[in-house]
Structure 1
Amino acid sequence: MTTTATAAAPSSGLETGTPRRGVLSKIVDRLGSGVVQVVMVLLGLFWLVPTLGLLVVSMRTTEVNNAEGWWTIFTKPAELTLQSYQGLLAGGFTASFWNTVLITVPTTVLVIGIAAMAAYAFAWMDFPGRDGAFLVVVGLLIVPIQIALIPIAVIYGNVGIFGSILGVVLFHTAFGLPFAIFLLRNFFVGIPASLLEAARMDGAPEWKIFVSVVFPLGKPAIASLGIFQFLWVWNDMLIALVFADSGNQPMTKYLQSQMRQFGSNMDILSSGAFLSLIIPLVLFFAFQRYFVQGMMAGSVK
């Protein structure tokens, strides 16, 4: 009996050792291999095919686009032309482009500035009704934009800003603040309290702490918010259709007005759509490092 128990001990030791790894674990380990990286690059290139097709369509005439597919450009490169871009820029697209800039840039700056100060107050300042006010902000996240279109349109008509760029900016700012405050507040809460206490002990006022300590540390979250807000306003068409008139219309409304039956002006639409991609891409790549940091913030404690 003693011999049997002794012999069984090594067997039980083996059972409590490192567990056997499954197939999924082995696949995860191989994600960093060169073969998988090549596959990921190929998948990325595959997702870029529609963008390439959009570029080719925008650089060919309507007759050629209606006669053959865009992939034939590899055998007929002489069909490429900048005629559609020249016609687009000679029309009202340039004015609509600057209207989009005048709407998007002020909206993004206002949302970031107001939301950052409000988020700091909710995170690190103690005042009566703070928690209740923050719950109201969170509740505003679920309010759909559509239910506010008619009431806001009536208010804009009464104050005389309906159809103006100012009205569009104010609408986007108001509906962008709840998400912005919620996002930045959750990020600011993760800032070590010792840094703020040290600044207060040195006699720094709250605005100085916000500018010198909280705002620099919140750059990743602020950059992520800026990209989201910029893209949302830049690509918006619903608010522009309701609150912007023909003289203040952004690119989305201008391109929508250029649509004809059966898409016979595909060269104009494709060239306008491709031009509208340039600024968001430049913005994303310029702040890509901060964007990744902001997306990963809080995932590891």
Structure 2
Amino acid sequence: MSAPGTTTRPAEDGPAPVSTPARSTSEKARKGPVDWLTKRLGNGLVQVSLLLVGLIWITPLAGLFFSSMRDDKDNSASGWWTSLVRPDQLSFENYSTLLENSGITTAFWNTVMISVPTTVLVVVISALAGYAFAWLEFPGRDAIFLIVVGLLVVPIQIGLLPVAKLFGEIGLFGTIPGVVLFHVAYGLPFAVFLLRNYFAQIPREMLEAARMDGGSEWRIFVQLVLPLARPAIASLGIFQFLWVWNDMLVALLFADSSAQPLTVALQQEMRQFGSNISVLAPGAFLSLIVPLIVFFAFQKHFVQGVMAGSVK
């Protein structure tokens, strides 16, 4: 009962308010020590850790660079880090001498003439084949694609001697075209597999609309598919270029002295390592800096290509 002179407010219709339940013990226990440490210290610790890892990775590169700018006497007497306090030891004389070495310069251009055509051929052929396997109908398409995928498990060592014998019979052994053809043949299975899977993710409605507008298959491939696949093609080009540029196994067997790349030339200089540091260090840094330039030039497309397909 209510007191005289007072009114009682009727109860409001509707569900009672729902209170947010307290966080369960299992959710609290789900947090590990890493989460606790990150919450307490913030992102500063993570950034410092990444900086330390980056310094560890870049130290050998810095050592190679400083060693390439010191003469043999200084390199034999002390470590490369002494040049940080004695900059008078550093000069570009070793690079000038290296550019005057006809064997090294010839090997460098041989590497370019092997790597660039191989990369271009692999990208072009695999793009055409990948589009055909993804969107064209022809007899035996799936069976042929399975054969291509099966070639991925074939080790490169199995084909060295048979292909070398074949190249010897047709006159390609020891030549740059022979090395290029071998790299193209063993690079195509992975390249076709990669681009076919990327092309297959393109919406079918987009291609059908282009066909209804009168576009031929070639025009659709050039003006629609290739621009969409630019990240994947850039990633494939970077990987293929790095594989061929740093290759030494195939070049040792298939290239003679006039066609040997830079990796083989530097390997031969290793026989007199103690007296050839002034040649090896700048040569190795030259061999290293070119792939880095290529990577950073296409870094944006490379990251997009690696992340493609990871999020739907």
What TM-score, normalized by structure 2, do the two folds share?
0.88
The residue aligned with 2:203 is 192
Match of 1:241, as an amino acid? L
| SS in structure 2 of the partner of residue 19 of structure 1 | helix
The residue aligned with 2:4 is none
Match of 1:19, as an amino acid? E
Whether 1:174 and 2:182 are equivalent positions in the alignment is no
Q: Report how far residue 11 of structure 1 moved.
A: 11
Q: How far apart are the structure 1 equivalents of 2:269 and 2:41? A: 46
Q: Report how far residue 15 of structure 1 moved.
A: 6.4
Q: Report how far residue 30 of structure 1 moved.
A: 8.5
Are residues 32 and 284 of structure 1, via their aligned partners in 2, closer, same or farther at CA, if it must alter by over 3 Å?
A: farther
Whether 1:86 and 2:96 are equivalent positions in the alignment is yes
Are residues 18 and 213 of structure 1, via their aligned partners in 2, closer, same or farther at CA, if it must alter by over 3 Å?
A: farther
| Identical residues among aligned pairs (%) | 60
The residue aligned with 2:233 is 222
Match of 1:74, as an amino acid? L
Q: How far apart are the structure 1 equivalents of 2:194 and 2:237? A: 11
Which one of 217, 226, 231 corresponds to residue 206 of structure 1?
A: 217
Q: Where does 1:99-114 land on structure 2 (aligned, <5 Å)?
A: 99-114=110-125
Match of 1:153, as an amino acid? A
The residue aligned with 1:7 is none
What is the RMSD of the two structures over their aligned residues, measured on CA atoms?
2.3
Which one of 283, 287, 290 corresponds to residue 272 of structure 1?
A: 283
Q: Report how far residue 16 of structure 1 moved.
A: 6.4
- Number of residues paired by the alignment? 292
Q: Report how far residue 125 of structure 1 moved.
A: 1.1
Aligned residues of 1:123 and 1:189 also touching (Cα < 8 A)? yes
The residue aligned with 2:56 is 46
Match of 1:293, as an amino acid? Q
Which one of 25, 46, 64 corresponds to residue 36 of structure 1?
A: 46
Q: Report how far residue 194 of structure 1 moved.
A: 1.0
Gaps of 5+ in 2: 1-17
Q: Report how far residue 263 of structure 1 moved.
A: 4.0
Deviation string, structure 1 residues 84-125 (Cα, Å, up to 9, x no partner): 222221112111111111111100000000000101111111
Match of 2:51, as an amino acid? V
Q: How far apart are the structure 2 equivalents of 1:60 and 1:39? A: 32
The residue aligned with 1:260 is 271
Aligned residues of 1:112 and 1:180 also touching (Cα < 8 A)? yes
1 or 2, which has the higher helix percentage? 1
Match of 1:156, as an amino acid? F
Q: How far apart are the structure 1 equivalents of 2:278 and 2:189? A: 39
Q: Report how far residue 261 of structure 1 moved.
A: 4.4
What TM-score, normalized by structure 1, do the two folds share?
0.91
Deviation string, structure 1 residues 111-160 (Cα, Å, up to 9, x no partner): 00000010111111121111111111111011111111111111111111
Are residues 114 and 101 of structure 1, via their aligned partners in 2, closer, same or farther at CA, if it must alter by over 3 Å?
A: same
Whether 1:69 and 2:108 are equivalent positions in the alignment is no
Gaps of 5+ in 1: 1-9
Aligned residues of 1:30 and 1:36 also touching (Cα < 8 A)? no
Whether 1:165 and 2:169 are equivalent positions in the alignment is no
| SS in structure 2 of the partner of residue 260 of structure 1 | helix
192-201 vs 73-82, which moves further: 73-82
Match of 1:260, as an amino acid? R
Q: How far apart are the structure 1 equivalents of 2:214 and 2:66? A: 61
